[in-house]
A and B are shown apart, each in its own frame.
Chain A
Amino acid sequence: MAYNDKVLDHYENPRNVGSLDKNDPQVGTGMVGAPACGDVMKLQIRVDEQGVISDAKFKTFGCGSAIASSSLVTEWLKGKSLDEALSIKNQQIADELALPPVKIHCSVLAEDAIKTAISDYRSKQKGVDAP
């Protein structure tokens, strides 16, 4: 199988690989997928006081397309508000990376990771705000 240039670029030069402190209240973590399925994505976002995503990091166990999908969304997330981030759809990821049908699930997983990370952040904030 030959890979699309954009997938290769993200795979060979992944953006924002790494971890943020998962105990930091400003950080939301989303871990999706399963080792048995061959993909696990961990996406983390740091949200500033204005509610804007100031940093995003990922770690992914999975094929090249899964790595590229997660790398791409970390780029897209920075500077976005949470609502803007939630509007990212898997189809946009798949289109940008020209993923073949058999790899669409990688983009679905990346969308799920965004949603899970944001919901983790929001539930932490509720905990902080609670009297």
Chain B
Amino acid sequence: MKKPIYMDYQATTPMDPRVLEEMLPWFVEKFGNPASRSHAYGWEAEQAVEKAREQVAALIHADPREIVFTSGATESNNLAIQGVARFYQDKGRHIITPVTEHKAVLDTCRHLEAEGFSVTYLPVQTDGLIDLTALEAAMTPETILVSVMAGNNEIGVVQPLQAIGQLCRQKKVMFHCDAAQGAGKIAIDVESMQIDLLSLSGHKLYGPKGIGALYVRRRPRVRLKPIQHGGGHERGMRSGTLPTPLLVAFGKACAIAADEMVAENQRLLALRQRLLDGICSRLTHVNVNGSLVHRLAGNLNLSFGFVEGESMMMAIKDVAVSSGSACTSASLEPSYVLRALGVSEEQAHTSIRFGLGRFTTEEEVDFTANLVVEAVNRLREMSPLWEMVQEGIDIASIQWSGHH
């Protein structure tokens, strides 16, 4: 079976071959435990780990001593939010986070609510951006933490990190940023952006799965109550033997991202525009979900009016994408991110996320645009809603029977 063209780079990325090459010697030849202080196996692994730590830190303009390695961004988000909440709970028990955050943040907050913390889930504007005035208004003397993502996983919208950081610092509230999607894609500087904690993921930037990091600010010092206890690795914040090969690979992936980000973004922006033009020049009733300006270069989220998302994915099965339609999830609810933007349930059911990345080519983009146009035309011919629109009937005016 020929595999479909990969256009789901927000779900995960393939590993860069340069990363794999760097990683391989650390499995068999150089297998030492970086915590072994008594022999050369350990010393060599420790050196590799420290180099990786520097590479990761450099990507976000941090000090290597501020990097705590974890298993991925989900763990980093848990450690940051739970760790801060539990350490500083005597100072206050209020957290603010936008409704469009990843489940790793939202579910962690929900969990803390059950422990007696209060959480404000901040609405977003129709372009997906948070309103800074609303953020400021939500802050109380009890607020200890604001958690806002860098780039959104569904709609790619990039939040104004600098302004959020400034506001948080001024109000003496800690700022955590889930940068799983943003790191390596947009310039992040924890100093100028005044970010106190920042989550990173390896597999979203062409590194391996199962590795990530949490940046924890040293000055002014941010403290955490650890979740995982043991040998006191990572300055006691995250015990567990460090997986040297994964760290080496993660470090290399960060170094490549830092070097190539500017050129890569230019290329991706051109490809995205090509995809958008290729589709919109030949189809009507196509909407972009989320801001096109404040957005990751590799993300395009489109709603194709009157064409349900899952049937659309079946029609373009030679391209691997994902949909905000309910039918793709077990919950039967359409995307909560799109709903938060004020996108109607109907529109949310018709959304497709195209994720472009390092290995996407112009040919693939053209192929995808053609396939999408063909599929939408075919499915609209089959759609009773499209027929009604052609007859001039206003779909919103109809009393629909069904309700799930």
Which residues on A are within 8 Å of B, measured CB to CB?
Answer: 1, 3, 8, 11, 14, 17, 19, 31-42, 59-64, 66-67, 102, 105, 109, 112
Contacts and interface: CB of A to CB of B under 8 A. Distances in A.
Contacts of A35: 345-346, 349, 385, 395, 400
A36 B400 contact: yes
B384 A60 contact: yes
Nearest to B404: A37
Interface in B357-403: 381-387, 395, 400-403
Given A59-B382, A61-B385, A37 B307 contact: no
B193 interface: no
A34 B314 contact: no
Nearest to A35: B346
Contacts of A59: 382-384, 387
Contacts of A102: 330, 332
Contacts of B308: 38-39, 61-63, 66
Interface of B: 306-311, 314, 325-328, 330, 332, 334, 344-346, 349, 381-387, 395, 400-404
A11 B314 contact: yes
A64 B384 contact: no
Given A37-B326, A38-B327, 17 more contacts: A3-B314, A8-B314, A14-B382, A17-B382, A19-B387, A35-B346, A35-B349, A38-B325, A39-B402, A40-B384, A61-B307, A61-B308, A61-B386, A63-B314, A63-B325, A66-B308, A67-B382
Nearest to A102: B330
B341 to A, nearest CB: 16
B105 to A, nearest CB: 27
A34 B327 CA distance: 14
A124 to B, nearest CB: 19
A59 B48 CA distance: 61
A34 B401 contact: yes
B401 A60 contact: no
Contacts of A34: 400-403
A60 B332 CA distance: 18
Contacts of B309: 38
19 contacts: A8-B314, A11-B311, A32-B401, A34-B400, A36-B346, A36-B349, A37-B345, A37-B402, A38-B325, A38-B327, A38-B345, A38-B346, A40-B383, A40-B384, A60-B382, A60-B384, A63-B325, A67-B311, A102-B332
Nearest to A3: B314
B314 to A, nearest CB: 5
A58 to B, nearest CB: 8
A56 to B, nearest CB: 15
Nearest to B345: A36
B401 A33 contact: yes
A107 to B, nearest CB: 13
A40 B311 contact: no
B346 A63 contact: no
Contacts of A63: 308, 310-311, 314, 325, 327
Given A35-B395, A59-B382, A64 B402 contact: no
Given A31-B384, A61-B307, A38 B326 contact: yes
A34 B402 CA distance: 5
Nearest to A37: B404
Contact of B403 (A1, A37, A64): A37
A36 B398 CA distance: 12
B76 to A, nearest CB: 30
B145 to A, nearest CB: 35
A32 B402 contact: yes
A19 B307 CA distance: 18
A24 to B, nearest CB: 16
Contacts of B349: 35-36, 38
Contacts of B400: 33-37, 40
A37 B403 CA distance: 6
Nearest to A8: B314
Contacts of B307: 61
A12 B362 CA distance: 28
A57 B394 CA distance: 23
A38 B345 CA distance: 8
A14 B306 CA distance: 18
